[in-house]
């Protein structure tokens, strides 16, 4: 069988940890920061683990990162 291809968009945006969690950047931080509260901006720093249903979809895009 031929090799399965990894989605380029997924490998640029997500990382899979050693325990199998999918890490991605926080939502809502692309634009419009003036209207956001300081608390929201502070809490949305860094990365977060995706929920189980979302992680399942992303893992299907990256067959060799399991």
DSSP H helices, 1-66, are 8-13, 38-43, 52-61
Q: Taking the chain, what is the end-to-end CA distance rounded to the nearest angstrom? A: 19
Going residue by residue through the chain (66 aa), what tens digit of pLDDT does each one get? 899 999 999 999 999 999 999 999 999 999 999 999 999 999 999 999 999 999 999 999 999 987
pTM of the model: 0.82
Our measurement of the distance from residue 43's CA atom to the centroid of its chain's CA atoms, rounded to an integer in Å, reads 16
User: What pLDDT shows up at residue 18?
Assistant: 94
Predicted confidence at residue 46, as pLDDT, reads 95
pLDDT score recorded for residue 3 = 92
Angle at 17 between CA 11 and CA 18, to 5 degrees: 130
List the domain boundaries for the chain. Answer: 9-26+33-61
């Amino acid at each position: 069988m031929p090799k399965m291809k990894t989605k380029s968009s997924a490998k640029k945006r997500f990382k899979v940890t050693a325990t199998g969690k999918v890490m991605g950047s926080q939502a809502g931080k692309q634009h419009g920061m003036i209207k956001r509260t300081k608390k929201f901006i502070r809490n949305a720093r860094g990365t977060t683990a995706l929920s189980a249903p979302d992680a399942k979809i992303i893992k299907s895009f990256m067959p060799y990162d399991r």
